[in-house]
Amino acid sequence: MKRLLFFLLLSTYAQAQLDTLHTLPEFTVKGYESKKKSIITAASIHAIGTAEIQRYALSDPLPLFNAYPGVRLEERSPGSYRLALRGSSLRSPYGVRNVKIYFNGIPLTDANGTSYLNLMDFNTLGQIEIMKGPTGSTFGAGNGGVVQLNTSSTTHGHEIKAGVQLGDYNTLNYSAQYQYGSDQYQITAAYSSRSSDGYRDHSNSKGQNLTLAGSYRPNKKHQLNLSFVYASTDYQTPGGLTLAQMQDNRKASRPATPTLPSSKQQQAGIIQDFLLAGLQHHWDVGSGFTWSNSLFLSSNDLQNPFITSYEFREERTGGYRSVLEKKIKDWTWTLGSEGIFTSSTFDVKQNNLGTPGVQQYFTDLDARQLTHFLQGQYVLLEKTFITAGISYNTQYYHNITAPLDVEGRPGTPWTPRFSILHALTPGKSIYYSFTQGYSPPTAQEMTANYEYNKNLGLAAEKGIGHELGIKARWTSHLQSELSLYHQNIKDALVRMVTEDGGEYFLNTGEIIQRGIEWSNRFNGKLGKNLFLEAYANANFNKYTFADFVNEGVDLKGNKLPGIPDTEMALGIRMNHRYGIFLNSDFGRQSSMFLTNKNEAKTDPFWTSRARIGWQGKISPSLSLQVFGGVDNLLNKEYALGYDFNAVGNRFYNPSPTRNWNGGAYLKFRI
């Protein structure tokens, strides 16, 4: 609280020293295909720009996401990310579920319902857009929300960027990027590599990424975009510890038990190769019509030696997205369709000390996910924006090789949305939105249940959300946003764990999610030489089981695991006119429960990091940045990811104590 009061006092002083040359950017967001400024978009949307992305270049993306209320990115093992938007990562033992992710407008999420966010190169991005809550009316499956990742735009001429970061635990990250821009062409080509021995035993990680993005505009009516990503990763998973084991040795990997080998003995980890390619065509048809079409393909090959099994996974995905827009006076009509088709094989064998053994089961699964949507937007007297939309959705699974007795078409076919926003002044608005969404069980969830012969009739989650919000741009330097939401999630999917460490999933009756999100951002100048950017964000949550009986125990009223009651994020960026800069971020999570029965909970903790350095021009065409940084500045003991409902109370994946890094970034323009 003292830190927050100090921050607010500092912001008040800074506002008195404003310089009109240093103002907050105004982002145009895609939103629900609206393409409007955030201040007049009736939804809680966070837009992260190039400058913010580059503040921790060559590092992990955690500070980018965790600075915003209602957004939490977790990292249980180095390079293994779980993303939760207004919800818990309860369903996500690996990868991202219940959130739809797009890369340059192309779905990164496959028809199985999984997104591999850890395979993206965040150094190439120019904007990240985060939408929270059910979005079924436009984007199909996902009660959590939507994340849109876009590569940075180019300026005229040639530009070469290269950077390197060294750190504790033999960390080495580097990247190289080439960009070219002209009136007709934009080209980005980037390569990055990362490696680390890790903080814990058996936590080595390495990976590389190649990104290509280009656009060709032959005339004012047509634009063709190409996106390509190849990524590989290989990292070890040390596994969860009990509280006593963590207190005894935070760096330990999961030890053996009388019935199971250790994580190290089983060589637990992830080995993955991923490829994504997409082509888009934007056509200004004329007479108020625009038409955008996308085609894409992706391939994922994964090996996962685990404590109890050794999985080989192959996934091949193809699909399209088509959006037709028509403007008629104060109306904008949007008609669209998206289809994602994934063919997968899950070959699960015994794990004999890191060597595949006898086959446990084999599943050959086809998945199809279709969304067809219609939306109308009306502007009344240039102050009131009314949007109504509806989509028809289908999710289909077909098992080719074995009788898999699951619901073949889990889903909520019709998902409506309605919102109204009124602009009180040019910089202030108030809005209300009603949304409905759905989130079908993923292929991994169904095959896990098949393996353990548990609950073979999984149903889709169905979400209904109400949100009331206020957005205010007090000056060109200070803006705030407050939102209150209430979501009912019926048939919510919950991960359970068997005695031997395997997993299966259950549908609860209902979950109630209530929250308040508050964000403040300031951008100004102190005196003649010092620029200051700062933010103070917080969210307050109350997520409870409304109807869930598990193994004869009524859990009604219990809090949902993985949701802290309060979260706070504070950040300050200072830049001196002579090139010296300081970036610092602090976050606080209150305690949260780790089991459905609320039998174990975490302690509150602070996260912190900082980077200081110098940046400037060495010549008219050459710029240099040198920096030194520290993660866990306050040297707290905490975990950035937990194993919920873990057998034997092995909940904890300890994060590193205070550790250091440093590096340099070079930019050359022609």
15 pLDDT tier (thresholds 50, 70, 90): very low
Report pTM.
0.92
Choose among 379, 392, 380: nearest CA to 332. 379
16 pLDDT tier (thresholds 50, 70, 90): very low
pLDDT digits (tens, 9 = 90+) for 579-599: 999 999 999 999 999 999 999
Cβ neighbours around 103 below 10 Å, total: 25
205 pLDDT tier (thresholds 50, 70, 90): very high
**Mean pLDDT lowest for which of 162-166, 352-356, 506-510?**
506-510
Q: Say which DSSP state 112 is in.
A: T
**Of the ranges 22-31, 271-280, 495-504, which is most confident?**
271-280
State the Cα–Cα distance between residues 74 and 133, nearest whole angstrom: 19
pLDDT of residue 159: 95
DSSP string of 35-97?
A: -EEGGG-SS-EEEE-HHHHHTTTTS-SHHHHHTSTTEEEEEEETTEEEEEESS--TT-SSSB-
pLDDT of residue 452: 66
User: Is the alpha carbon torsion for 50, 52, 57, 63 positive or negative?
Assistant: negative
pLDDT digits (tens, 9 = 90+) for 379-420: 988 889 999 999 998 888 887 765 554 445 666 688 899 999
User: How many Cα atoms occupy the beta-carbon half-sphere of 400 within 13 Å?
Assistant: 8
- Contact call for residues 432 and 175 (beta carbons, < 8 A): no
- Contact call for residues 56 and 66 (beta carbons, < 8 A): no
pLDDT digits (tens, 9 = 90+) for 95-121: 677 889 999 999 999 998 888 888 999
Largest CA distance in the chain: 73
**Mean pLDDT lowest for which of 165-169, 341-345, 350-354, 450-454?**
450-454
- Contact call for residues 584 and 571 (beta carbons, < 8 A): yes
Q: What are phi and psi of 39, to 5 degrees?
A: -65, -20
- What tokens does 372 get? 């067809």
Between residues 153 and 8, the one the model is more confident about = 153
372 pLDDT tier (thresholds 50, 70, 90): very high
pLDDT digits (tens, 9 = 90+) for 24-50: 666 666 767 777 788 888 888 899 999
Query: Which residue matches tokens 């007297």?
Result: 381
pLDDT digits (tens, 9 = 90+) for 437-455: 888 888 777 777 776 666 6
668 pLDDT tier (thresholds 50, 70, 90): very high
For residue 494, the surrounding DSSP H or E stretch is: strand 493-497
pLDDT of residue 3: 43
**Mean pLDDT lowest for which of 55-64, 187-196, 569-578?**
55-64
Q: Is the pLDDT of residue 81 over 90?
A: no
Q: Is the pLDDT of residue 475 over 70?
A: yes
